[in-house]
Amino acid sequence: MENIRPTYTQRVYETVKELTFLLVIVFMVRTFLFGLYQVPSGSMETTMLVGERFFGEKCSYFFREPRIGEVIAFNDPTYAYSSNPLMKLFQQYVWGPENWTKRVIGVPGDHMQGSIEDGKPVLYRNGRKLDEPYVNNFPLVYVLPANEQTVRNQIVEDIVQAFPMNSYNPESVQRLAHYMIKEYAIPKTYDPAYSVTEQPFYRMDVSTLLKDAQGNIIYEGPHTPVESHGMNMSTLNEKQRFNGTDEFDVHLGTNEYWLMGDNRLGSTDSRYYGPISGQYIHGRIVFRIWSIDSNASWWMIDIVRNPMKFWHRIRWNRFFQIIT
């Protein structure tokens, strides 16, 4: 019998079909079973540090609602979805908003209140004061970008363009630039029990830390109230208020959740954007896979850029841990 070999077109067709099937399987697994997550910011320190990778499962929330205390992944609540229903589904499940990670503090039906007592922020859920052992108890320092002088020069240029020089002398402009550069610095957790060069969370250099006019490192203490950053009070009704500070009063409605970061001084959370709809919550963070002090999206990129320093950035004591 003659052996009939497939034509080139048939081989291409079979390859495309197999790849399509594989992509569908990958999409289904990542959408409905589990996902791998990385931490791009310090909003959940010290529970989660920048440069760590996590395993998250997505099955539980098909059968039950998120529970208080769980660390969850959800879509960026500030993302502007398309008005087209099909495009919105594509954005929500395929390609659209970034993944954010916070802790569930309040669930539907809860009355959440934040206030300042003895100079410290406290939380109440349904009238009961919360004990939160997971909240970051370390101070923060501000790490300046590597191109600090370039950033500072740009700030000075912007100030000069925005205001006539006869209103500000050069010394005043420099002082204002020194104040504004904090907005470009990255807040990171600092353990006072160790020196700057021996920090357990992040490797630091004294020269890159934000300092005051006297040259002292600027620390922001734990449990310091979050101040208003010029945001107006958002009033949803007479008993539901939040404005980006640690003072709020919110009644959660159906399928609404109050989410906050463990690093309260470095977290943009429900205090800013209010309750989160449960439809945007898509996973529960359960396991830390590895931990590397790196801002790179892929650790392979970092190892190519810094082959010698890379191995010193690995936090071996934070590998393979359950997240609570």
| Tens digit of each residue's pLDDT (9 = 90 or more) over 21-68 | 666 665 555 555 567 888 878 999 999 999 899 999 988 898 899 999
Cα–Cα dist 303/310, whole Å: 6
Q: Return the number of other C-beta atoms located less than 10 Å from residue 46's C-beta.
A: 18
Position 236 scores a pLDDT of 44
- DSSP states along 41-97: SSTTTTTS-TTEEEEEE-SGGGTS---TT-EEEEE-TT----SSHHHHHHHHHTSSS
pLDDT of the residue at 231: 45
For range 98-104, the mean pLDDT:
93
Q: Where are the domains of the chain?
A: 9-136+225-322, 140-217
In this prediction, residues 297-301 reach a mean pLDDT of 73
Give the model confidence (pLDDT) of 207-264 as tens digits. 888 887 778 888 888 999 986 544 444 444 445 677 888 999 999 999 999 999 999 9
What separation, in Å, do the N-terminal and C-terminal C-alpha atoms of the chain show?
66
Pairing of strands 120-125, 128-129: antiparallel
Q: Count the Cβ atoms, other than its own, within 10 Å of residue 136.
A: 22
DSSP one-letter code for 311: G
**Is the per-residue pLDDT at 1 higher than 70?**
no
pLDDT digits 0-9 by tens, 121-144: 999 999 999 999 999 999 999 888
Cβ neighbours, 10 Å, residue 250:
23
Q: Would you identify the CATH topology of the domain 9-136+225-322?
A: Umud Fragment, subunit A (2.10.109)
Q: Which one has a higher pLDDT value, 94 or 163?
A: 94
Length of the chain: 324
Average pLDDT over residues 190-197: 94
Q: Is the predicted pLDDT of residue 151 greater than 60, yes or no?
A: yes
**Number of helical (H) and strand (E) elements in the chain, helices listed first:** 6, 17
CA 222 to chain centre: 18
310 band by pLDDT with thresholds 50, 70 and 90: confident
Asked if residue 312 lies in contact with residue 203, where contact means CB atoms within 8 angstroms, the answer is: yes
Between 16-20, 40-44, 208-212, 288-292, the lowest mean confidence (pLDDT) is in 16-20
What's the pLDDT score for residue 285? 95
**DSSP assignment, residue 9?**
H
Strand order in the sheet with 186-189: 186-189, 140-143, 219-220
